[in-house]
């Protein structure tokens, strides 16, 4: 199985997956069809199928033109909003292209119909691969736009996070530098984050893609997968001390902010709580039966608190620095079991 990484648009990736014995090819997330066809011609392969992770224009807009240029092309995905879709896939469905197997993994979070694709090849020593679109990226994940935080937690931690650690991760965007800068704010003493950030800066200077990573690597530095990490993985010396007016994260990390003086409260939140950050990414906090501890004078009974926690006021906070009830949030990470 050969994977061609194709950078397009501002920071997107398309992929061409080639079965090297039959010379059949499958494309993932076609945004610029003419660029894809140039590489198909150069490789001398027959493109038969498109796998689309989700319906957003930068992942699916090329499907219609490509289908016009290649009559009989099969366009697959899990969302009826995908351009030129010929058949809708379901979670757990398996496809086959020569020796290449594809398992379809529904990973809602970024969109309700987001599908990731886990590929492996018969009698091949090469590691498997997952094409994760905007569900999982190198050191990060896509913003939650359409589903609940618990669904997103399940997609990241329980569906993608349990794939074999050697699995190569091919994501939809080149967001690695920004993701790692955020991860460093979350875990400033994580040496894996520091090393990966240094490596990514060099790749950026050389204008070279940072994909693929591996799932095993992601579990070391991606905060969105590490929300399920055992608490004893962080030593006391790695934890930030309490800060006045802060939001305490279950793993001992702290989000700093100014709030009025007064008494504080804490209480259980719905599973898979999402909290906004003052950086460029939303962050999942918690897991099953988790608690979030809030600083002075921010009662958990406040309607805005519960509205946000339960997702009824969920919005995309990806582009605008935000605060949680007036408290600028730097990091909320982890799990507390009562």
Rounded percentage of the chain residues whose pLDDT exceeds 70: 67
Same domain for 16 and 153? Answer: yes
Exposure of 42 by Cβ count < 10 A (0-12 exposed, 13-18 middle, 19+ buried)? exposed
What average pLDDT score do residues 110-128 get?
95
Q: Which residue has the higher pLDDT, 312 or 205?
A: 205
Same domain for 240 and 97? Answer: no
Summarised one tens digit per residue, pLDDT across range 4-37 is 999 999 999 999 999 999 999 999 999 999 999 9
DSSP string, 266-317: EEE--SSEEE--SSSS-EEE--TT-EEEEEET--TT-HHHHHHHTTTT----
pLDDT of residue 295: 30
Is residue 336 domain-resident?
no
Is residue 142 domain-resident?
yes
Same domain for 209 and 283? Answer: no
Exposure of 270 by Cβ count < 10 A (0-12 exposed, 13-18 middle, 19+ buried)? middle
Same domain for 251 and 158? Answer: no
CA nearest to 276, candidates 260, 287, 252, 292:
292
Handedness of CA 178, 179, 183, 186 (dihedral sign): positive
**Does a cis peptide bond (omega within 30 degrees of 0) precede residue 212?**
yes
Summarised one tens digit per residue, pLDDT across range 166-216 is 999 999 999 999 999 999 998 999 999 999 999 999 999 999 999 999 999
Provide the pLDDT confidence category of residue 119 given band limits of 50, 70 and 90.
Answer: very high
Check pLDDT > 60 for residue 235: no
Q: Into how many domains does the chain fold?
A: 2
pLDDT of residue 229: 56
Average of per-residue pLDDT values in the chain: 75
Helix (H, G, I), strand (E, B) or coil at 338: coil
Check pLDDT > 90 for residue 298: no
Same domain for 210 and 264? Answer: no
| Contact yes or no for 170/5 (Cβ under 8 A) | yes
What average pLDDT score do residues 124-153 get?
93
Enumerate the active-site residues: 54, 56, 58-59, 110, 134, 173
Provide the pLDDT confidence category of residue 227 given band limits of 50, 70 and 90.
Answer: confident
Summarised one tens digit per residue, pLDDT across range 61-105 is 999 999 999 999 999 999 999 999 999 999 999 999 999 999 999
Provide the pLDDT confidence category of residue 310 given band limits of 50, 70 and 90.
Answer: very low
How far is residue 142 from each of residues 45, 109, 133, 156, 161, measured CA to CA in Å? 32, 8, 9, 11, 15
Highest mean pLDDT among 211-225, 248-262, 276-290, 301-315: 211-225
d(CA 141, CA 304): 25
| Contact yes or no for 100/51 (Cβ under 8 A) | no
| Contact yes or no for 160/110 (Cβ under 8 A) | no
How far is residue 70 from each of residues 48, 75, 316, measured CA to CA in Å? 9, 11, 36
Same domain for 55 and 23? Answer: yes
| Contact yes or no for 140/281 (Cβ under 8 A) | yes
Q: Which of 193, 228, 263 is the last residue of a domain?
A: 228
* pTM listed for this prediction: 0.73
Same domain for 262 and 190? Answer: no
Check pLDDT > 70 for residue 107: yes
Domain of 84, CATH number, reads 3.60.15.10
Long-range residue pairs from 87-94, CB within 8 A, at least 24 positions apart, any chain? 89/115, 91/115
Residue range of the domain that includes 279 = 231-328
Same domain for 201 and 166? Answer: yes
Same domain for 130 and 205? Answer: yes
Same domain for 84 and 116? Answer: yes
Check pLDDT > 50 for residue 258: no
Sheet with 264-268, strands from edge to edge, namely 254-255, 247-248, 291-296, 264-268
d(CA 13, CA 7): 5
Same domain for 252 and 205? Answer: no
CA nearest to 91, candidates 140, 151, 34, 139:
151
Q: How many CA atoms lie within 13 A of 334 on its CB side?
A: 24
What average pLDDT score do residues 331-335 get?
30
Q: Which of 228, 256, 291 is the last residue of a domain?
A: 228
Same domain for 36 and 181? Answer: yes
d(CA 105, CA 113): 10
d(CA 149, CA 52): 23
Check pLDDT > 80 for residue 106: yes
């Amino acid at each position: 199985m050969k994977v061609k990484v194709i950078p397009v648009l501002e920071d997107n990736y398309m992929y061409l997956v080639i079965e090297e014995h039959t010379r059949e090819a499958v494309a993932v997330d076609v945004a610029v069809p003419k660029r894809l066809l140039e590489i198909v011609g150069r490789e001398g392969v027959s493109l038969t199928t498109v796998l689309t992770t989700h319906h957003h224009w930068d992942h699916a807009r090329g499907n219609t033109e490509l289908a016009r240029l290649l009559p009989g092309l099969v366009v697959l995905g899990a969302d009826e909003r995908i351009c030129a879709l010929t058949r809708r896939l379901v979670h757990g469905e398996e496809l086959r292209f020569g020796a290449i197997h594809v398992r379809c993994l529904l990973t809602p979070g970024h969109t309700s119909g987001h599908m990731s694709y886990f590929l492996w090849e018969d009698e091949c020593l090469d590691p498997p691969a997952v094409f994760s679109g905007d569900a999982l990226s190198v050191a990060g994940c896509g913003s939650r736009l359409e589903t609940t935080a618990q669904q997103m937690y399940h997609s990241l931690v329980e569906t993608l996070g349990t794939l074999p650690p050697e699995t190569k991760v091919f994501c939809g965007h080149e967001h690695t530098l920004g993701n790692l800068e955020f991860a460093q704010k979350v875990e400033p003493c994580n040496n894996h984050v520091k090393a990966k950030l240094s490596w990514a800066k060099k790749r950026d200077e050389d204008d070279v893609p940072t994909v693929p990573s591996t799932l095993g690597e992601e579990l070391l530095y991606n905060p969105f997968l590490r929300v399920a990490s055992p608490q004893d993985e962080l030593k006391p010396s790695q934890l930030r001390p309490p800060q006045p007016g802060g939001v305490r994260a279950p793993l001992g990390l702290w989000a700093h902010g100014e709030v009025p003086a007064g008494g504080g409260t804490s209480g259980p939140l719905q599973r898979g709580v999402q909290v906004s950050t003052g950086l460029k990414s939303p962050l999942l906090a918690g897991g099953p039966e988790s608690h979030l501890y809030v600083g002075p004078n921010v009662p958990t009974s406040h309607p805005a608190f519960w509205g946000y926690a339960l997702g009824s006021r969920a919005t995309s906070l990806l582009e605008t620095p935000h605060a949680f009830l007036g408290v600028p949030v730097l990091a909320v990470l982890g799990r507390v079991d009562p």
